[in-house]
Amino acid sequence: IKLDPKLYSEDDLELVVRRFATELIKRRFIGPGVDVPAPDVNTGPREMSWLVDTYVNMKPEDPAGSGCTTGKYLEQGGIRGRTEATGLGLFFVAESAFANSNSNILSEIGLTPGLDGKNVIVQGFGNVGYYAAKFFSERGSSKVIAISERDGAVVNYDGLDIEALKEYHLENKTLRGFPGATKY
């Protein structure tokens, strides 16, 4: 489905999601043991909840029906920590790649072990990008020096203030104009 959710009412979006879910269910394309959709661009717990509600109503005999999606509200069987999980996973992958046990490989390509003091650039500042940037700057003692988004990028070679950028992004729906960086 390709649409700009800003151009539709919540009721219209719910109709679209529920109809989409109905078509997926009728074709047996989703289900706990088949395929489990997750939220992506312009979707979140609300849309996943509509999808799971549609599934459970169409398949009341399925005892695992609420497991047909991920990313739903906790009250519908969502999982604590799911929101930040992918961004945290990216951090863990980088942490593992830069582990001391990889020092020989890292030295061959001119890098040193550890994330401390490393410069990080993040592509995208949605859910995954935000949490990846947050964990790199907080847990990895790295400097996130640049973040790009669909309409531009911001750079600060001293490190971006991720929480200030998140607040700015929520208020302005863009990274452009963020006072703590140079825009590109």
CA pair distance 105, 169, nearest whole angstrom: 38
Question: What is the model's pLDDT at position 40?
Answer: 83
Asked if residues 182 and 157 have their Cβ atoms less than 8 Å apart, the reply is no
Instruction: Identify the pLDDT of residue 41.
Output: 79
What's the whole-model pTM score? 0.79
Q: What are the residues facing 58 on neighbouring strands?
A: none
pLDDT for residue 106:
96
Measure the CA–CA gap between 82 and 89, rounded to whole angstroms: 11
d(CA 41, CA 2): 10
pLDDT of residue 42: 82
Identify whether the C-beta of residue 155 lies closer than 8 Å to the C-beta of residue 181.
yes
Query: What pLDDT sits at residue 81?
Result: 87
- Name residue, tokens 């950028």: 165
Residue 168 has what pLDDT? 96
H or E segment to which residue 182 belongs: strand 182-183
Q: What stretches in the chain show pLDDT beneath 70? A: 140, 183-184
Q: How far apart are CA 105 and CA 98, in angstroms?
A: 9
